[in-house]
Structure formats: structure tokens, C-alpha cells
């Protein structure tokens, strides 16, 4: 399956319309100094009003699938209880429009815009959030489950907890200590489990997964030792202490204790926290029961993962068994200064499918670039074409070697509100002029459409 992805707060706008409840990003953006360009998602791409045009654009490009998120507070203004029919109807109409144009809808239930009312009750720190999230998942899947068959529960707990509750860089901007942060993660995992049950009830023939993120380590050389080192480093959980193997690449696991993969995904797919992570976090690990782990460990149909950038390692004779290999000076970077590391689209699917035995969806991948409309009215984002082609060739290699790949979603369909960066980073394959809301296909959109239509043959 080939598609593109977006998220509600980043594109919808209509922040205070038709009964939508306030969410933590509405509030965060109003706080002085939080967003680099002082902007907000109040209007964003105005997709709430322009969705027919946007779906027509998807069809013009040739996308087969579209991954979008529903806004919890637009559907349930207080997070629980009363349903805002207008909000729910918006998504229902969007789904109809997609199906009408032959684009398969994929829903993410939570892409960071937590209702403010729930934040005031403690948000992810409150153990009741599993009930709140299950209630919301039931409402959405009961309404849309007759037409939507693919579901992701949460997008990137590494970010909405790691940056929302630990570094404070993202809404709600908290800086809690490690034990509280691990508690919040545990609640998010429980909420995931409960929402899977709710989706299965609301949409019995649906397929369900999650969309976490992480940075895959890839081997310097394809020797058995380096491959084993990369596998180990990919799933490594840094603790809080001086025992983190340092790295020069800000994408390596060493930057934050919450920035890792397996603490979030092992519970989902294996029913336990990783042994090495339990050791690393020690007494900060929250108390949990066997029943908790069973609830978290719901059967899932696929393993979704958002992959942007990775880091290179080799086998080493140290306590970790691996060490980071710094990227050569002057290595390619995106506009955001993220390293360009196509290898992760081979090694990621390989390592994840080996460890969890599930088909893989790349739920996000893409890059920001400083795009503008040229004098001829074109947007020549050739760097993006080169980036996506290089990543997809690696993805193709994984497919050819038999690793199970179910789909790829390019981030993003439209230029949009890039969280604390505001509108300064453009990730879209469709350019948005935020003054006029005019959409223009970038060259990458035309190129990617052919990939979608040829099922990757034209790579
Ligand atoms: C998120 C998107 C974000 C993108 C680029 C992912 O972490 O899911 O919402 O825009 O990366 O930063």
C-alpha cells in the first residue's frame, strides 16, 4: 500500500469552530516562546474546510492510501461523555470522500492533540486515561468502522510523552522526573491495549496496530558482528546514568532516556518490558502487574513505525558490544539538519519483523526542505525526490529479500504546522501558500504518484 500521512492538529485549522473542544496544542501555542515563529494550528492548512480539494489532490497524485488522525477534542470536546456530532460527521464525510476517489483511509486515533479537559485531570499521568481513551476509540470505530478497516492507536509515545512530559519541548511542556515519565508511558501502553479492544468491538473486521517511532542503528559493514551490533543498538534502552554510550549524532539513542524503541514496542508485541531496559531504569520503573502486561499485549495485525533518520554502528569490545560510527563530515542533511540515512528503511523492517514477527508499515518517512514556488510556478524539490528514492530503494531491497512489508506512508501530503517549528519546516509533497491557502503539487508529488501507481516498479 502506498500513501501519504498527515495529522489533525497540523492541517485542520478550525480550532474554535463547530463545537471542537480545546486541546493541549491550542493552549501551548498561545504560550509565549513555545513556537519558533509564534504561530499556531488555528488555521494551518484549513483542511477542515478544504478537505474535498485535498482529497481531489490525493487522487490527482495517484495515492492509494491516506493516513490521517482524528482529533479527540473535535469529537469529544471534554475528552469523555458528550459527542460533538459535527466533529464526528466531518471525519465521516472525509472517509466517504476518500472512498469515493479510491483512496483507502487509515486512521490514527491519537496524534498528540490531547483534550485540554483531560490534561487538567492529569493527562497521561492519570491511570483513568485508559478508560478515557477506550471510550473515544469506541466512539470513532463504531461510527467509521463500517468503512475504515485500518487503525493505528497512538502516534509516537516517544514524542508525546518524551517531549511532552520529559524535555518539555512539546505540549503540554512538562519536565517531570524519570519515574513519573515512565509512569506516563505505562499509562499510554495500557490505553493502547484498551483502545485495541474497543476498536475490535467497533470494527470486528478491522486491522489494528500502532505508530511508534525510533532511530534505527545500521551496520557499518554487513558482517555478522556489525549486524548483531546494529540490532542490539537499535533496541537498546539508555538509562539515566553515565552508562549511556555517547554519540555525535543527535539521533542516536543517547540523547534522552525516553528516546528508544523497545521500551514502547516490546510490551505491545512481546508482553514485557525489555530486560536490559528494566536494568537501566532500575527503581524508576513503575509498579505494574501481570494483568497490565496482558492488557497491553493485545494481538496486533501489523507493526507500524515512523522512521526518519538513523545512526551507524559497528561491533566494539566494550560493555555495550557496539559503538557509534560518526557520519563523515559534510554528510547529507535535510533542511531540519536531520541526517539522511536511507539504510534504515532496509534495516528497520528487517530488525522489526525479525523481533516481532509482524508485517511492517512505514507509517511515516520524509524530509523537510526549503521549498518555494519558482518563476515558472514550479516547486523543484529534487532533494526530496532523491531522499525518498534512496529510502525506497532500501525498502525495496527488504521486500525482495522477503521481509514482510505492508505499506509506506510519505510524511507529508501537505506542508503543515511543524509543531514547535511552526511553519518553518516544509515536509509536504504539496506546497501550501499559507496566505492564500493555494495548493501546488511539488515535483516530488508527480514523481511519487508514479511510484504509487507502479507499486514501486519504477524505483
Ligand atoms: C510526527 C509528525 C511530524 C514529523 C516531522 C513525526 O515525529 O509524527 O507529526 O511532523 O515527525 O517532524
pLDDT of residue 244: 59
Q: What is the pLDDT of residue 238?
A: 85
12, 97, 156, 324: the catalytic one is: 156
- What is the CATH code for 2-453? 3.20.20.80
Active site residue 290: no
Summarised one tens digit per residue, pLDDT across range 83-135 is 999 999 999 999 999 999 999 999 999 999 999 999 999 999 999 999 999 99
pLDDT at 307: 98
Ligand 1: which of 69, 411, 413 to mutate, most ligand atoms within 8 Å of CB? 411
Would residue 220 show up in a list of annotated catalytic residues for this protein? Answer: no
Please write the tens of the pLDDT for every residue from 139-195: 999 999 999 999 999 999 999 999 999 999 999 999 999 999 999 999 999 999 999
CB-based contacts of 52, cutoff 8 Å, min separation 6: 97
Atom of ligand 1 at shortest distance to CA of 368? 5
For helices 129-144 and 85-100, the axis angle rounded to 10 degrees is: 50
Give the cell for residue 44.
494551518
Would the pTM of this model clear 0.75, i.e. be above it?
yes
What was the pLDDT predicted at 250? Answer: 59
Residue range 260-295, pLDDT digits in tens: 999 999 999 999 999 999 998 999 999 999 999 999
Q: Report the separation in Å between the CA atom of 35 and the middle of ligand 1, taken as the mean of its atom positions.
A: 15
Gap between the Cα atoms of 245 and 237, Å rounded = 11
| Rounded Cα–Cα distance for residues 50 and 55 (Å) | 9
Ligand 1 atom showing the smallest separation from residue 412 Cα: 10
Nearest residue to 112 via CA among 179, 178, 158: 158
* Helices and strands (H, E) in the chain, number of each type: 16, 13
Tell me if 336 sits within 8 A of 251, measured CB to CB. Answer: no
CA distances to 3, 204, 227, 231, 330 from 339, rounded to whole Å, are 23, 41, 20, 19, 10
Cα 191 to ligand 1 centre (Å): 21
CB 219 within 8 A of CB 165: no
Residue of minimum CA distance from atom 5 in ligand 1: 418
Amino acid at each position: 500500500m502506498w500513501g501519504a500521512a498527515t495529522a489533525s492538529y497540523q492541517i485542520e485549522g478550525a480550532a474554535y469552530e463547530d463545537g471542537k473542544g480545546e486541546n493541549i496544542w491550542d493552549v501551548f501555542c498561545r504560550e509565549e516562546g513555545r513556537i519558533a515563529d509564534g504561530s499556531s494550528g488555528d488555521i494551518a492548512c484549513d483542511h477542515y474546510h478544504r478537505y474535498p480539494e485535498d482529497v481531489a489532490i490525493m487522487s490527482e497524485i495517484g495515492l492509494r492510501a491516506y493516513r490521517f488522525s482524528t482529533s479527540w477534542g473535535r469529537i469529544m470536546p471534554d475528552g469523555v461523555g458528550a459527542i460533538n456530532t459535527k466533529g464526528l460527521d466531518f471525519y465521516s464525510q472525509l472517509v466517504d470522500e476518500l472512498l469515493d476517489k479510491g483512496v483507502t483511509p487509515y486512521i490514527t486515533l491519537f496524534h498528540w492533540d490531547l483534550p485540554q479537559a483531560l490534561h487538567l485531570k492529569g493527562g497521561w499521568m492519570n491511570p483513568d486515561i485508559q478508560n478515557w481513551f477506550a471510550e473515544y476509540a469506541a466512539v470513532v470505530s463504531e461510527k467509521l468502522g463500517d468503512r475504515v478497516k485500518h487503525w493505528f492507536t497512538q502516534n509516537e509515545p516517544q514524542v508525546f510523552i518524551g517531549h511532552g512530559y520529559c524535555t518539555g519541548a512539546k505540549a503540554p511542556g512538562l519536565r517531570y522526573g524519570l519515574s513519573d515519565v515512565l509512569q506516563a508511558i505505562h499509562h499510554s501502553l495500557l490505553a493502547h491495549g484498551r483502545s485495541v479492544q474497543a476498536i475490535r468491538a467497533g470494527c470486528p473486521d478491522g486491522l489494528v496496530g500502532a505508530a511508534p517511532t525510533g532511530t534505527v542503528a545500521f551496520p557499518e559493514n554487513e558482517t555478522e558482528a556489525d549486524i548483531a551490533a546494529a540490532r542490539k543498538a537499535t533496541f537498546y534502552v539508555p538509562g539515566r546514568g553515565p552508562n549511556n554510550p555517547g554519540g555525535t549524532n543527535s539521533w542516536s539513542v543517547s540523547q534522552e532516556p525516553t528516546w528508544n524503541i523497545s521500551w514502547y514496542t516490546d510490551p505491545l508485541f512481546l508482553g514485557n518490558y525489555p530486560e536490559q531496559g528494566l536494568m537501566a531504569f532500575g527503581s524508576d520503573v513503575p509498579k505494574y502487574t501481570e494483568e497490565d502486561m496482558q492488557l497491553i499485549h493485545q494481538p496486533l495485525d501489523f507493526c507500524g513505525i515512523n522512521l526518519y533518520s538513523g545512526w551507524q554502528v559497528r561491533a566494539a569490545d566494550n560493555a555495550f558490544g557496539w559503538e557509534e560510527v560518526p557520519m563523515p563530515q559534510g554528510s547529507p542533511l535535510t533542511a531540519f539538519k536531520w541526517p539522511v540515512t536511507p539504510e534504515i528503511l532496509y534495516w528497520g523492517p528487517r530488525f522489526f519483523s525479525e523481533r516481532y514477527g509482524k508485517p511492517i508499515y512505514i507509517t511515516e518517512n520524509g524530509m523537510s526542505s526549503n521549498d518555494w514556488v519558482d518563476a515558472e510556478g514550479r516547486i523543484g524539490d529534487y532533494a526530496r525526490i532523491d531522499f525518498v528514492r534512496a529510502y525506497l530503494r532500501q525498502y525495496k531491497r527488504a521486500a525482495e529479500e522477503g521481509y514482510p512489508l505492508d505499506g509506506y506512508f510519505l510524511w507529508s501530503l501537505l506542508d503543515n504546522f511543524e509543531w514547535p517549528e511552526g511553519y518553518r519546516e516544509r515536509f509536504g509533497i504539496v506546497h501550501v501558500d499559507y496566505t492564500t491557502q493555494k495548493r501546488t503539487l511539488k515535483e516530488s508529488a508527480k514523481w511519487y504518484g508514479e511510484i504509487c501507481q507502479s507499486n514501486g516498479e519504477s524505483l
